[in-house]
Amino acid sequence: MSIQATPLNLFKANAELQLRIAQLMRESGHRWLEAVQQTSAAGLSETTAELHSLLQAEDWQSLASLPAEAVMRRLEDRMINAKNASDIAIKNQQAFASGLQQALEAWQKSVAEALRADGASNLPALPMQDIFKQWLSAWTPATQDPAQAKSGKAAQK
């Protein structure tokens, strides 16, 4: 391959990386949109059920007890919704981080191939896994107890 093809191949590698990142952003946005739609549908269902219970009240005493019951149900539902939102956020971040890591590894490979084709034989290794190790560790559950983790950090220093 000629030296004139190298800039084109590097441009293509960069364009592919940009395309993959755009796809990851779109996929992440779709996951969030689906989560919002589900939450919205659940909220509408709750409101409809509460309105039906108001319509079915047969006397003032039963009608007066409905708001207290509704508050407790709403509080429980909000706690569940907060947990679900947290789970969705973590799942979305894990998927995005994993996809981004794969995209950057593919980009690194494409760039290295383009430079090697140009005759560069002593290319430095760029370990993409090391770049993401710390970032991804925040999104993976810990498998050891905190005392072991502290002793491991102390040993690294």
Q: Determine the Cα–Cα distance for residues 21 and 30; give it in Å rounded to an integer.
A: 14
Confidence of residue 135 (pLDDT cuts 50, 70, 90): low
Mean pLDDT, residues 38-44 = 82
pLDDT tens digits, residue range 43-67? 788 778 877 877 777 777 777 776 7
* Percent over 70 (pLDDT), the chain: 71
Q: Is the pLDDT of residue 22 over 60?
A: yes
- Domain spans of the chain, in order of start: 5-138
| Contact present, 117 and 5 (Cβ < 8 Å) | yes
